[in-house]
């Protein structure tokens, strides 16, 4: 089989080693030949490429693949071409590098930064993009691989071309009389072209050639001098021969090929400069050593005192080695990336081995791969190679000026006229720039190119949230990043993980829920990235494995807290050290992705910020490059300020990474985080005419605002289950399922199964009426707006099309009355954030109010003290600062949404498929250390007050990690102190119902605990269950019932250790814990002790066993949070800090 048809190989003869047969460029396809002849050919290539792409992301033959193919077909039929998506383009460019048979440095192929410049249509714009490329690639000497891709060839349009062979190269001036050349003989012809275009070089050996750029071959090329500060050069010295410096040799740092075409999916991109970094021999042996280039061997040999008259003195070999030594030494001394040929060869061997493993082969052209010096000393010399061509590819193309139609008068232009540049305006008119004008233009450009182009570098900001804070921070971050990048905010649940490896910049803002778990809308993302990591690590066992495991209780996972002391992640240790990068051999799929993680959490929880830490670790193990260490924002200690410092630092580092620090005034930009983006001039309430615009009812409004399938359930009963001596009560509320329910799959309330025991119901509470009325009065709404008439919040926003400003509805909130907004949609009880306090400070007229509010807004410690002492709701805050006069619309625009509260369903659908029971502890407490006013939990107090027939807005949430075993004969151990018993009532009801149908479930143990017997919940029902054998045992722990010894569920668990252990080991039982997070942590620790006591396991074995139970989903948790223990935990934690 011919190995390389382009070189004219046949089945008998291989001519791959013959090069410069004629002018090599002539044998490359002309632009027209590269263009597929017809639609069919284009579609065949497109189809092949898409198949390749979709199989790489494991979505071959899926709905998305089919839809994409259809849209490509449609575009090709309609327009004769199609566009690649940004991800496809990046994938294609990386693959083209991977397929380049002549490149020895391909091990880095996945680490190519692709700049998508397809939107650029002018030579000036292309020049700016190229400056950006050079700056990014050079990176102050720490070279990075990059490709900039300009617009593809399109039917009826001219090609975009860069006439230079490399972005940076030296001129070669031929002496017409004796034929000698000053400078680089390789560029003589191109130097003449530049001169013809008016460029005048200084005539030295190392004059930088200008960039000659053609935005389309219908237009005249334009000439741009490279801003000298952009081009890094290395003067050459020798480590021991001092005289070497006298030779005056130098070379540039960035090898960037700019004349090749990129062929991908049947499309040709004719201007696609790309760079890697130098291998020493390319400069030393070839550029400086070749006789038809700088030809330095004889000069060096003579200075070395070698006999150059005879080959047998080996002067050439010895001289070339010393030039290599000089190049390597000089580059390394200036910290410019370079690789010697031995190292490069070894890496290539590794790459080849990997490629054979992954792809079954690696196209390689031996003649090009083997280094020109000391070939047989490198392993590649001894390696058999097969050269074949694969698509996508980088292809040679005819020199741009070959068939160019020059204007007659150009023969006369040039140095004599003192012109620097010649071009044509868009209308085709010839434009000539005088030297000064161009010099100015260049300076202007080098300052400005960041603004125009860098905003094209996408910054993906992904958040996962339960209560909305991470989302808010993600938007603040985007506001900041949009000053220099194209920032896009997405919820993790809406993000397609296949794009991850082609992102340039990814910022994660996420909270932690459960007991170290992701928020619900981060679960799928976590799973998919985990899958990616599993896949990678199974292929690269030596690569860094993630240290943490996702999961609830730290017991049973490698302990987050054990591995990572919280202080390591707090603001105090906020540092942006360079973290160790993975080696070339272990490049992961995210090796080209820069990322940073901000983890929200509360230090009251044992797994503080567990999910954020986990994601950070996972992305790092996949080869991602950290822009900054992960930072934990503690809800109990200055979370917002920590976030703002982190955001500024990450922005700074990102600008540095993408070489934008000169173009963006980072301090000015960071100030935007402190400024109010919305003012009373840019937000207002518009009165809505309900005749013209229908007003959504609460169910529709909540569904829209929270993007949830909200329904309405009437209350069928509400009884008080227990009340303790402190007056704390627990209520039992029954709801009827009447209408559409469960993700819209059910239209009438008739089907038998609506949920499973263990699932949750989300309740939308209604804020306290007195509080709402108080706020309406305090804000003076009655005098300005009708509090009960329909209003729509609007903001003044710039229009995308003409840039003018118009009032636009704020989609976050529906049109409704002000009273409804405060009652149903807005959180008016959580203490104001520091940002909101800063806003109030700006609207305070008394100096004292202003000073105090400003202090609270800026001093984290003062703020936390204020917050935890009075736990002030909004009305209390406004009353505390009476001089604050703030516009109601402005205030509303800054208030967070009232979040739904979750309750574990306390019933089984097998008892009544249309009823859902809730067991809720009512939160009521006195602030100010027990001396202040009474405060009530929003939702629990709302639930305590609902009456039969009232309608409650709610939605259903499945909790697949807290369902009964599918093998119903397995034992079930349930630990649920306090209201933690809630889901277990559903479990025992389920067993009872199954039993009545003749189905036998396994044994059930219940551990509950209360302060005293008065607080015990479902007392009678439990006795009945024990009596009828549904519950095999019901253990009750009492903590404040003298003279009974103080006991907790943990103590009862230890007492029953042999039974519990037997159930879990011999009968494959399932263990469930429900309630407060800290209790769950203690229970997990106790369970380890159970294993040690009853099973004789040592500490490590106990850990392993718990981990095994978790992995087998036989250890399950349902975590409520830390509601009751909040004040104790807060104070304890704050004391520690
Ligand atoms: C998955 C899940 C399942 C749940 N299941 C149940 C269930 O079955 N039954 C149940 O009762 N709850 C359950 N909860 C908790 C429930 O969702 C609510 O958090 C709880 O009812 C409190 O909500 P609230 O609106 O009444 O209080 P909020 O208005 O949210 O107020 C609670 C706030 O008050 C603070 N606080 C509480 N006590 C004090 C105090 N003494 N001093 C100072 N501050 C204090 C807390 O720190 C907290 O910030 C569950 C939670 C989750 C996440
Ligand atoms: C039920 C519940 C469980 C929580 N679990 C944890 C946890 O395990 N670790 C942690 O650091 N924070 C935990 N938190 C605190 C949240 O992460 C914190 O409130 C965060 O600021 C919420 O951000 P969000 O609004 O973006 O979801 C929990 C909060 C609740 C209500």
CA distance 618 to 630: 12
Determine the atom of ligand 2 nearest the C-alpha atom of 463. Answer: 26
Q: Which of 277, 366, 646, 988 is catalytic?
A: 277
For 694-725, the pLDDT digits (tens) are: 788 999 999 999 888 899 999 999 999 998 77
Using pLDDT thresholds of 50, 70 and 90, give the confidence band for residue 1121.
confident
CA distance 195 to 418: 11
Higher-pLDDT residue of 445 and 166 is: 166
750: pLDDT strictly greater than 60? no
Give the pLDDT score at 802.
60
Q: In DSSP terms, which residues pair with 473 in a beta bridge?
A: none
CA distance 537 to 547: 13
Q: Worst-scoring range by mean pLDDT, 111-120, 353-362, 689-698, 1012-1021?
A: 689-698
Q: How do strand 113-117 and strand 146-150 relate by DSSP bridges?
A: parallel
Q: Which of 491, 517, 601, 940 to mutate to test the pocket of ligand 2 (most atoms within 8 A of CB)?
A: 601
pTM for this prediction: 0.77
Q: Which of 88, 128, 222, 282 is catalytic?
A: 282
Determine the atom of ligand 2 nearest the C-alpha atom of 635. Answer: 21
655 a catalytic residue:
no
Tokens of 1006: 């219940």
Q: Report which protein residue has its CA nearest ligand 1's atom 40.
A: 925
Q: Which ligand is nearest to the CA of 1120?
A: 1
Q: Report which protein residue has its CA nearest ligand 2's atom 2.
A: 1121
Q: How do strand 683-687 and strand 791-798 relate by DSSP bridges?
A: antiparallel
Distance, CA 1130 to ligand 2 centroid (Å)? Answer: 14
List the alpha helices (DSSP H) in 545-609. 560-563
CA distance 344 to 323: 18
Distance, CA 600 to ligand 2 centroid (Å)? Answer: 7
Determine the atom of ligand 2 nearest the C-alpha atom of 510. Answer: 26
Using pLDDT thresholds of 50, 70 and 90, give the confidence band for residue 423.
very low
Distance, CA 901 to ligand 1 centroid (Å)? Answer: 8
Task: Answer for the pair 467, 485: CB distance below 8 angstroms, yes or no.
Answer: no
Q: Which ligand is nearest to the CA of 959?
A: 1
Give the pLDDT score at 788.
87
Q: Is 1119 in the pocket of ligand 2 (CB under 6 A)?
A: yes
Q: What value does the mean pLDDT take over residues 470-495?
A: 93
Give the pLDDT score at 800.
54
Q: Which ligand is nearest to the CA of 599?
A: 2
The closest alpha carbon to 279, from 220, 238, 324, belongs to 324
Q: Is 900 in the pocket of ligand 2 (CB under 6 A)?
A: no
For 567-604, the pLDDT digits (tens) are: 232 222 222 232 333 334 446 889 889 999 999 999 88
- On the 0-12 / 13-18 / 19+ scale of CB atoms within 10 A, 503 is buried
Residue 580: CB atoms within 10 A of its CB come to 9
Q: Report which protein residue has its CA nearest ligand 1's atom 5.
A: 903
Using pLDDT thresholds of 50, 70 and 90, give the confidence band for residue 429.
very low
Domains of the chain: 26-168+217-229+251-277+391-404+440-452 (3.90.340.10), 456-533+588-675 (3.40.50.360), 683-707+767-894 (1.20.990.10), 967-1135 (3.40.50.80)
Q: Which of 106, 626, 852, 1110 is catalytic?
A: 106
What one-character DSSP code corresponds to residue 287? I
Rg (CA), the chain: 36
Give the pLDDT score at 669.
76
Give the pLDDT score at 157.
84
106 a catalytic residue:
yes
Q: Which of 940, 958, 977, 1127 to mutate to test the pocket of ligand 1 (most atoms within 8 A of CB)?
A: 940
1091: pLDDT strictly greater than 50? yes
Return mean pLDDT, the chain. 86
Q: Is 612 in the pocket of ligand 2 (CB under 6 A)?
A: no
Q: Which ligand is nearest to the CA of 642?
A: 2
Phi, psi of 1096 (to 5 degrees): 70, 20
Please give the biggest Cα pair distance in the chain. 116
For 169-200, the pLDDT digits (tens) are: 999 999 999 999 999 999 999 999 999 999 99
Give the pLDDT score at 37.
57
The closest alpha carbon to 609, from 542, 548, 693, belongs to 548
The closest alpha carbon to 570, from 602, 538, 526, 534, belongs to 602
103 is in an annotated binding site: yes
For 388-417, the pLDDT digits (tens) are: 999 999 999 999 998 787 776 554 443 333
Q: In DSSP terms, which residues pair with 806 in a beta bridge?
A: 797
282 a catalytic residue:
yes
Kind and range of the H or E run holding 528: helix 523-539
Q: Is 1008 in the pocket of ligand 2 (CB under 6 A)?
A: no
For 222-260, the pLDDT digits (tens) are: 999 999 999 999 999 999 999 999 999 999 999 999 999
In the chain, DSSP finds a helix count (H) and a strand count (E) of: 35, 40
CA atoms within 13 A on the CB side of 147: 28
1090 Cα distance to chain centroid:
42
């Amino acid at each position: 089989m011919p190995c390389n048809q382009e070189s004219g190989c046949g089945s008998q003869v291989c001519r791959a080693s013959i090069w410069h047969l004629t002018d090599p460029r002539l044998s490359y396809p002309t632009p027209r030949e590269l263009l597929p002849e017809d639609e069919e050919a284009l579609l065949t290539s497109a189809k092949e490429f898409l198949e390749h792409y979709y199989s790489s992301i494991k979505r071959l033959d899926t709905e998305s693949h089919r839809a994409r193919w259809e849209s490509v077909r449609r575009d090709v039929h309609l327009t004769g071409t199609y566009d690649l998506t940004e991800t496809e383009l990046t994938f294609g460019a990386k693959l083209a590098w991977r397929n380049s048979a002549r490149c020895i440095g391909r091990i880095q192929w996945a680490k190519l930064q692709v700049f998508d410049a397809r939107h650029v249509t002018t030579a000036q714009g292309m020049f700016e993009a190229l400056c950006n490329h050079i700056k990014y690639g050079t990176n102050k000497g720490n070279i990075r691989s990059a490709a900039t891709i300009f617009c593809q060839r399109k039917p009826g349009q001219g090609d975009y071309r860069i006439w230079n062979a490399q972005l940076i190269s030296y001129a070669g001036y031929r002496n017409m009389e004796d034929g000698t050349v000053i400078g680089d003989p390789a560029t003589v012809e191109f130097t003449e072209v530049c001169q013809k275009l008016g460029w005048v070089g200084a005539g030295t050996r190392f004059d930088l050639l200008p960039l000659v750029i053609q935005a389309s071959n219908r237009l005249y090329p334009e000439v741009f001098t490279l801003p000298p500060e952009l081009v890094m050069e290395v003067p050459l010295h020798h480590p021991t021969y001092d005289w070497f410096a006298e030779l005056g040799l130098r070379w540039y740092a960035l090898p960037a090929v700019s004349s090749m075409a990129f062929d991908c999916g049947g499309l040709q991109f004719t201007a696609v400069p790309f760079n890697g970094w130098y291998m020493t021999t390319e400069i030393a042996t070839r550029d400086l050593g070749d006789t038809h280039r700088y030809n330095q061997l004889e000069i060096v040999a003579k200075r070395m005192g070698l006999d150059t008259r005879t080959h047998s003195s080996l002067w050439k070999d010895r001289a070339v080695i010393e030039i290599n030594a000089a190049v390597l030494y000089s580059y390394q001394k200036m910290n410019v990336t370079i690789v010697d040929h031995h190292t490069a060869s070894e890496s290539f061997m590794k790459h080849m081995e990997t490629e054979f493993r992954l792809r079954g082969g690696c196209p390689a052209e031996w003649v090009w791969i083997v280094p020109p010096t000391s070939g047989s000393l490198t392993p590649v010399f001894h390696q058999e190679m097969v050269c074949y061509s694969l698509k996508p590819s980088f292809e040679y193309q005819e020199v741009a000026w070959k068939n160019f139609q020059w204007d007659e008068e150009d023969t006369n232009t040039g140095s004599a006229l003192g012109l620097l540049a010649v071009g044509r305006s868009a209308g085709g008119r010839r434009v000539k720039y005088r030297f000064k004008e161009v010099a100015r233009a260049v300076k202007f450009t080098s300052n400005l190119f960041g603004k125009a182009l860098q905003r094209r570098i996408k910054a993906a900001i992904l958040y996962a949230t339960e209560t909305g804070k991470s989302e808010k921070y993600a938007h603040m971050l985007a506001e900041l990043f949009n000053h220099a990048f194209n920032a896009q905010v997405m919820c993790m649940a809406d993000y397609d993980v296949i794009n991850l490896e082609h992102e340039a910049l990814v910022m994660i803002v996420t909270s932690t829920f459960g007991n170290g778990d992701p928020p619900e809308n981060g679960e799928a993302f976590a799973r998919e990235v985990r899958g990616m990591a599993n896949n990678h690590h199974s292929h690269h066992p030596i690569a860094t494995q993630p240290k943490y495991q996702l999961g609830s209780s730290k017991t049973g996972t490698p302990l987050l807290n054990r591995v990572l002391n919280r202080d390591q992640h707090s603001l105090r240790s906020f540092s942006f050290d360079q973290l160790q990068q993975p080696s070339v051999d272990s490049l992961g799929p995210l090796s080209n992705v820069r990322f940073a993680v901000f983890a929200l959490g509360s230090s009251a929880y044992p797994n503080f910020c567990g999910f954020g830490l986990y994601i950070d670790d996972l992305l790092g193990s996949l080869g991602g490059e950290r822009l900054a260490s992960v930072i934990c924002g503690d809800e109990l200690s200055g979370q917002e300020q920590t976030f703002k410092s982190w955001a500024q630092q990450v922005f700074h580092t990102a600008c540095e990474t993408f070489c934008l620090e000169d173009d963006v005034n980072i301090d000015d930009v960071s100030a935007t985080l402190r400024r109010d983006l919305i003012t009373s001039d840019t937000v207002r309430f518009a009165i809505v005419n309900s005749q013209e615009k229908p007003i959504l009812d609460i169910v529709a409004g909540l569904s829209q605002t929270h993007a949830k399938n909200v329904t309405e359930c009437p209350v069928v009963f509400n009884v008080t289950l227990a009340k303790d001596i402190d007056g704390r009560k627990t209520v039992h509320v029954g709801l009827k399922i009447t209408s559409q329910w469960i993700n819209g799959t059910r239209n009438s309330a008739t089907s038998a199964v609506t949920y499973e025991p263990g699932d949750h119901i989300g309740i939308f509470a209604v804020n306290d009426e007195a509080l709402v009325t108080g706020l309406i009065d305090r804000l003076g709404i009655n005098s300005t707006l009708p509090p009960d008439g329909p209003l729509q919040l609007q903001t003044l926003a710039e229009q995308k099309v003409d840039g003018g400003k118009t009032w636009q509805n704020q989609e976050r909130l529906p049109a409704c009355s002000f009273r409804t907004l405060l009652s149903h949609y807005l959180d008016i009880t959580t203490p104001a954030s520091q940002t909101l306090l800063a806003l109030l400070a700006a609207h305070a007229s008394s100096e004292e109010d202003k000073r105090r509010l400003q202090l609270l807004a800026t001093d984290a410690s003062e703020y936390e003290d204020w917050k935890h002492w009075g736990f002030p709701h909004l009305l209390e805050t406004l009353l505390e600062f009476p001089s604050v006069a703030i516009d109601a619309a402005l205030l509303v625009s800054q208030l967070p949404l009232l979040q739904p509260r979750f309750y574990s369903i306390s019933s089984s659908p097998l008892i009544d498929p249309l009823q859902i029971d809730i067991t809720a502890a009512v939160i009521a407490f006195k602030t100010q250390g027990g001396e202040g006013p009474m405060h009530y939990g929003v939702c629990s107090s709302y639930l305590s007050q609902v009456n039969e027939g009232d309608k409650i807005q709610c939605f259903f949430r499945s909790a697949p990690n807290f369902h009964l075993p599918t093998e119903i004969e397995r034992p079930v151990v349930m630990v649920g102190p306090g209201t933690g018993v809630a889901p277990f009532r559903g479990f025992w009801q389920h067993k009872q119902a199954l039993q009545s149908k003749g189905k036998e479930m396994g044994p059930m143990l219940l551990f509950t605990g209360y302060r005293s017997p008065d607080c015990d919940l479902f007392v009678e029902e439990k006795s009945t269950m024990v009596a009828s054998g549904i519950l095999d045992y019901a253990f009750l722990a009492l903590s404040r019932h003298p003279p009974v010894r103080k006991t907790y569920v943990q103590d009862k668990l230890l007492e029953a250790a042999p039974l519990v252990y037997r159930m879990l080991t011999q009968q494959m039982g399932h263990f469930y814990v429900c309630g407060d997070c800290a209790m769950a942590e203690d229970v997990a620790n106790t369970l380890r002790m159970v294993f040690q006591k009853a099973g004789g396991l040592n500490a490590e074995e106990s850990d392993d066993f718990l981990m095994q139970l978790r992995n087998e989903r036989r250890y399950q948790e349902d975590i409520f949070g830390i509601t009751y223990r909040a004040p104790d935990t807060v104070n304890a934690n704050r004391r520690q800090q």
